[in-house]
Amino acid sequence: MMKEHTNTSTQDNIIEAKGLRKIFGLMFRTRDTPALIFKWDKPKLRAFTAWFVFFPFVIQWWRNYELIEERVVKPFEFIIIPESAEAFDKIVEIPIKKRGAN
């Protein structure tokens, strides 16, 4: 079973990105946005962008419920792919809260 990211500097809840949210992800959102999970039927290498994401976030790449890679993404990064260049079927985007935020 996939583990939720429960670090105190991140969101504790995760919602599935569907429809337009699957296209825009965290773009134009705030740090208070819940973490998003994106799911696909088959593993494939996909590229993402943090263009118009105004805060850092953690991105996790998963394949068959196994964590492949995790890293912090800075605001406005143009191309985001796993350094391992491995195919994946899920990603989780976890907004990082400011220090001291509840």
pLDDT for 9-21, tens place per residue?
A: 344 588 898 887 8
Rounded CA-CA distance 28/31 in Å is: 10
In which domain, by residue range, is 75 found?
Answer: 14-81
DSSP 23: H
Amino acid present at 72: V
Token pair 């969101």 is at which residue?
11
pLDDT, mean of residues 51-72: 95
pLDDT, mean of residues 17-42: 88
Would residue 43 count as lying in a domain? Answer: yes
Structure-model confidence comparison of residues 24 and 49, the more confident one: 49
Q: How far does Cα 100 stand from its chain's mean position?
A: 22
* pTM summary value: 0.78
Structure-model confidence comparison of residues 90 and 26, the more confident one: 90
Would residue 95 count as lying in a domain? Answer: no
pLDDT of 21? 81
Q: Which two tokens stand for residue 79?
A: 């191309």
User: Does the pLDDT value for residue 27 go beyond 90?
Assistant: no
Looking at the 3D structure of the chain, how many domains does it have? Answer: 1
Q: How far does Cα 69 stand from its chain's mean position?
A: 11
Cα 1 to Cα 7, 13, 17, 47, 91, distances in angstroms: 18, 15, 19, 25, 14
User: Does the pLDDT value for residue 5 go beyond 70?
Assistant: no
